[in-house]
Amino acid sequence: MSFRRTVASELTLWLSIITTIIAFVLGGVYTYVAARSVTTRLITEANRTADELSQVLVSPLFNFDQTAAQEIANIYLRSGRVKGLFITAEGMGEVFNNHVKTLSSLPRLSRKIVKDDTQIGSIELIFNDNQIALAKNRALKTTFFTVLLLLLLYTLSLSFILRHILVKPLTGLGERLQALVDGSFSGRLTPLPQKDLNTIVIAANRMFEEISSQTKTLRENERNYREIYNATSDAIFIHNIDGTLLDVNQTMLDMYGYTRNEIHTLGEGALSGESPFGPKERRVMVARALAEGPQLFKWRARKKDGSFFWVEVALKEARLGNQQVVLAFVSDISQREQLEEQLRQAQRMEAIGMLAGGIAHDFNNILSAILGYTELSLKQVDDSSKMFGHLKQVERASLRARELVRQILTFSRKQEPKKEVLPLAAVVSEAMNLMRSSMPVTVKIVQHLDSHSLVEVDASQIHQVILNICTNGFQAMPESSGTLVISLNDITLPEDDNGDDLELPAGKYVILAIEDNGSGMEKAVLDRIFDPYFTTRKSERGTGLGLSVVQGIVKKHQGKILVESVPDKGTVFRLIFPVTGKPRTLGGVHTVTADYARGQRIIVVDDEESIRHLMKEILTQAGYDVEVFADGLSAWQTISTFFQEIDLLITDLTMPGLTGIELFRKVRAVRSDLPVILCTGYNEMKDSFRGEDVSACLQKPVTVQELLLTTAKVLKKREDTR
């Protein structure tokens, strides 16, 4: 098991080593002092012994008693104090010598043996130094055990002190730091009584609080950025420069239909289509972003289910840390593409409507001449003649053509939408007459109009609803061949069931059902057919009005639309409208007849020669004094000169030069009571003359009866107000 070094162990070890060294140094000093003290004491004893021996040997040596001298010497040697002894005497020479070869740490002492001031001999002594060695050993043992004991006590005490004063706070600090690393921000260090250590604790607690606050802020910011990253409506891809996918946001996963685990296993071409939207082109666009800067382009992307959709891609180089990456922001523009296509379709429809309106306006001028001269001819031919019958056929055909032109103007929105109380069967019949001409002859139309109930509707909008549903129906038929069944029936919703889940109030209703035997719809498609911009058609077949608009029109008429569909069998739309009791009265009973001419002077202005001459002939035959003009400027010159003599002005609205509205305003400026009748191929007078005092409006083509009756009414009203 490896030894874990800690601050406490390090401090204890080093302090113990230092203490041991100091103790041994002090022990050495102590041993030296002890040895020195013993040596000094032994030297003193040696000197005293030498002096003593020199006195004792005086007698034996003076008497030349060598044996006594030797005995005395052996006595001193046996005492242990003397280690070596050498005695000489005058006249005897060497008296004693024990031949000691070992050295002593004590100095060799010599003394003279004197008798009556005469030297009779000498001695040399080597003293035993064993006591010095013993003293040193005792001192060393004492020092060793003392140091060992002190070291043990010191280590234990130091370890205890360090553990409570230093180790425990440092351990708490370490544990708190580890908790921070593990993500725990709760808890603080306990204050310490030691001022210096408590300063560290206070600083550490402040650091913990700051780190905790900053970490929480960073995590909150990261969470916010991650939420923004995943909540953005754009799909975000992060690639390194070699094309490896590093990360995507949640929008990308939702947009393409993948899970996060699947996205990193995709091949290079999994999210792209074929050329020019394949992997090769993608690499080219990435290279451009790196070389030229941000790139913005349209791309055809592929989902997990294999379906393709249009996206707009913004590529941009960026750096994430030290890594160079390419960011791709991808927007799903399939709805925008669909809207743009619908806008283009609407613009085409508007252009067609404008063209249809212009053609209808010119056709109205032609019909005006045909219908007017036919009526004049009928008055000049015997009603029993064959010619009368022929002219009647021309008149009927002209009236039918007039109604057809009015329907075209209504469909092209050149007529003002308005609700009227009408038989719904008549509105349906008009719509189907228009529909018949636009359908393939392979589509059979079957009508069962079994209701004559009145409804308050805008005929133009109902026409559009029927045309749209019928168009959807025959386009759903294989090879545009099949049957459309149009039926109309009355129903009554009783008071007690409140419409039987139809969310309609009780009462009388009429149901218009349009059924086809086309391809039908799956439930997933059926659930979305009223969503704005939803379509299953190919772009080349157009988008039509849109069933969301159809639903809106039906709701504005307080109605309900129901749909049933079976795949491969067909679809039926049921439109339910409330029944209106009586038609609204749009005007009072006429109190004037067409025969009201008394030679009144009338000015007729029209740029169409056939129309102005027709009006002159009709009005002249009726007894009016008529003068015609081809433009507004020439008419104004006459009116401004003879304005008091003129009884009525009839003018076309659309003319080159001075238009009908400009002529009307000039006339009103000089004579406010002069009656003015405006004629046009459109029905826009209410918008053009809103707030103006126009006497009457006539929409071309005008019949003889309509012209004479309107003229008589305007003139009589003028006379009545005088």
- pLDDT single digits (tens) 118-143: 888 888 888 777 766 776 677 677 77
- pLDDT at position 413: 55
**CATH topology of 1-184 equal to that of 232-332?**
yes
Cβ(249)–Cβ(328) under 8 Å?
Answer: no
What percent of the chain shows pLDDT beyond 70?
82
Please give the model's pTM, rounded to 2 decimal places.
0.46
CATH of 1-184, one of 1.10.10, 1.10.3210, 3.30.450, 3.30.360: 3.30.450
pLDDT < 50: residue spans in the chain: 1, 414-416, 499, 539-545, 584-592, 685
Backbone angles phi, psi at 351, to 5 degrees: -65, -40
**637-641: long-range contacts at Cβ-Cβ below 8 A with a sequence spacing of 24 or more?**
638/603, 639/603, 639/666, 639/667, 639/670, 640/666, 640/670
- pLDDT at position 194: 64
CATH number listed for the domain at residues 338-415: 1.10.287
Q: Could you please state the CATH topology (level 3) that the domain comprising 232-332 is classified under.
A: Beta-Lactamase (3.30.450)
Spans of all domains in the chain = 1-184, 189-224, 232-332, 338-415, 417-583, 601-721
What percent of the chain shows pLDDT beyond 90?
11
- pLDDT at position 127: 76
CATH of 601-721, one of 2.60.120.330, 3.40.50.2300, 3.40.570.10, 3.40.50.11540: 3.40.50.2300
Amino acid at 61: L
In this structure, what DSSP letter does residue 677 have? E
Exposure of 711 by Cβ count < 10 A (0-12 exposed, 13-18 middle, 19+ buried)? buried
Cβ(424)–Cβ(512) under 8 Å?
Answer: yes
CATH number listed for the domain at residues 417-583: 3.30.565.10
- pLDDT at position 416: 47
The token pair that represents 495 in the structure block:
């008071």
In this structure, what DSSP letter does residue 415 have? S
The token pair that represents 430 in the structure block:
């008009």
**For 298-338, what is the HEC assignment?**
EEEEECCCCCEEEEEEEEEEEEECCEEEEEEEEEECHHHHH
In this structure, what DSSP letter does residue 580 have? B
Query: What is the distance between the alpha carbons of residues 63 and 120, in angstroms, rounded to a whole number?
Result: 10
Is 124 strand, coil or helix? Answer: strand
Cβ(139)–Cβ(31) under 8 Å?
Answer: yes
